[in-house]
Structure formats: structure tokens, C-alpha cells
Structure 1
């Protein structure tokens, strides 16, 4: 059975499309900024803390905590997604020292992204700390999201198989009816 030029062209275009699209689909969210800025020094508490990304993160798994030099959480309430940023309210801070913004989000592509940034409080505040920061501090749910890990590979494999089936159907020889 000879392979037609049309089949070769369609196959080449399909392969090229997969090679170009796969890296784009696996790109994770990238941090574009912090507020307060990473490494900055403040003499008063900020009203909010935020981490900004190059795309809108999924809201259901977004977390952001401000952890003080005493190991306690100083942010107030739950983090929320506002545009391309994850934001949390910050009450009056307490001890002088380094505070850590600890974040974890799920990218638009389903992969978890986490990290930290720091700022220093240079004048003691009169705030009351929250609970001690949890050492694990991560949401297992985001790692189990369907598009995370092997789920994305499975979707690509299904798409390739569907394309191959459609191509085979389109190129089949019609039955001769006599």
C-alpha cells in the first residue's frame, strides 16, 4: 500500500503542530512581582501582601501566607485571586525582623507553583499573631488536579490517537460496489 503525498503532508503538519503546542501547554505560571517587594524593608505594616503572575492562576487552590520571624502567621483571612495576582490581607505586624510571603498556586495548565519572598519590618508593630505556621504548608489537592502531572500527558495521548483515527478514516479507500 503506497502512502500518498497528501497523507505525508497531513502527517507532517500534525507532527509539527504537536511539537510546537506541547511546550506551550506545559509552561507554568511565572512570578512577575511581589508586594511588598522581595528583599524590601518597611517601617510599617502593609495593608495587603500579593504575588503577581504572568497568567491568571486557578482560584480554588491559591494560598498566600505572611509568616513572621516568630514563626507565626500574620496574614488575615484567606488568599484571593485578583486578576493575575494572589492577594491576602495583612493586619498590624509585630516583631522586628524578616517576614516571609509563602505562596502556592495552581497554574492555568494545572501544575502547582510555589515559592517564597521576604521583606523586613524595621520598626516593631503592635499586632497580634495568628496560629503557628504549618511546616507542611501545602495543599495536596493542587498536586492531584486532573491536568497536573500525568493527566496532561494522557490528554495529549488521547488527542494524538483521535487525530490518527480521523486521519485513517479520511484516507481509507472506498469499497468498490459492483
Structure 2
């Protein structure tokens, strides 16, 4: 009987480690590694593009990137382009000095959506500030953005995914039942 317990003491931890190690790739999602402008950067010259670099390849065709400035104006001038893990988005000439936010939503290799924001500050008015005239358009855009309903991801887009812990619990129960069966059988 002590031989059986020793075998179990060796095999059970090895099986649990294999289960957890095997599920580790499911926990990994792409992450934003860097951006230009960088997060919380203070820039004096208005950028003409923003660049986002991720920890793995992300398809540009499904990426959504916006660059919102003071008053809620979106300055993205086109869709994201790129290869491997880097996306580039062209910008319309930035306007007033102040806070800008890059908002992104990409799909990781495992199919889960990943989103986030990168704030930066333009310390001097951009070239679009000279072209802007006082009008109701920025206020209307801000009001529309404030009253627009927030979009919730659909079940297909949700970041849910199947949790790993139920599988670990099932594996422990099955292994425990096998151990109990083996012990009863060795006693007989």
C-alpha cells in the first residue's frame, strides 16, 4: 500500500502541473507593448499618425482605433494598417492643445477582443486649430457622443472565454476517484 501512495504522491502533482501548464496559453492575450505617442506623453508637435505595437500579430482589418481630442472630435483619418504586431493610423491635423486619447480594440490570436486607451497631451495647438472656426459642430459631436448608447460586445465578441478552473476541478475529482479505486482494489 505504501508503494501505491508513493506513486500517487508523484503522479498527482505531475498531472496537475501538466494540466495547468497546458492551459497557460489560453490565459495569454495580446498586450499593448508600446505606442507613439507614448502613454501619458506630453508632445509639442502634433503627430500625423499614431502607432500601436502589440505583443503578437493582430489583424489590421478587424482593428478599431480612434483618436479623440478636446471636445470629443475624432481625428482618425482612416483605418488601421500594419503587419505583424504593429498598427498605424493616419490622423487629420490635430486641433486645440489639450488631452487626446487613443482608443483601440483588436482581436488577439486566440480570438478574444482586447481593448484599451492611451492618453497623451498636445502642449501646443496643432495645425487643425487654425482651420477650426467656432461653431456648434464640436459641441454637437460631444453632445452626440455623451448621449449615444454605449455598445456592449455581443456574445461572440465578449472577452469571456471558457474559464480553466472547472477543468482543473474535474481533473482533480477524476484523479481522486482513480486513486480511491486503486486503493480499494489494492486492499482486496
TM-score by length of 1: 0.66
Q: After TM superposition, what 4+ stretches of structure 1 lie above 3 angstroms from structure 2? A: 10-18, 128-141
CA contact (8 A) 1:28 1:107 kept: yes
The answer to which structure has the higher helix fraction is 2
- State the Cα distance separating 1:60 from its structure 2 match: 3.7
Where in structure 2 are the equivalents of 1:25-44 lying within 5 Å? 25-44=26-45
| Cα offset, 1:109, TM superposition | 1.1
Query: Any stretches of 5+ residues in structure 1 without a counterpart?
Result: 1-7, 158-178
SS of the residue aligned with 1:51?
Answer: strand
Aligned residue in 2 for 1:55: 56
CA-to-aligned-CA distance 1:115-153 (integer Å, 9 cap, x gap): 111111111123268984756676846x6159x634x56
Q: Note the alpha carbon deviations across 1:58-86, whole angstroms, 9 max, x for none.
A: 33421111100111101111122332122
Matches within 5 A, 1:1-178: 16-127=17-128, 132=141, 134=145, 140=153, 144-145=156-157, 149-150=160-161
RMSD: 3.5
What is the alpha-carbon distance in structure 1 between the residues aligned to residue 150 and residue 30 of structure 2?
20
**Residues 105 and 56 (structure 1), Cα distance of their counterparts in 2 relative to 1, 3 Å cut:** same
Count of paired positions: 150
Question: Which blocks of at least 5 consecutive residues in structure 2 are unaligned?
Answer: 1-7, 168-188
More strand by proportion, 1 or 2? 1
1:13: Cα distance to partner? Answer: 7.5
- CA separation of 1:84 and 1:40: change in aligned 2, threshold 3 A: same
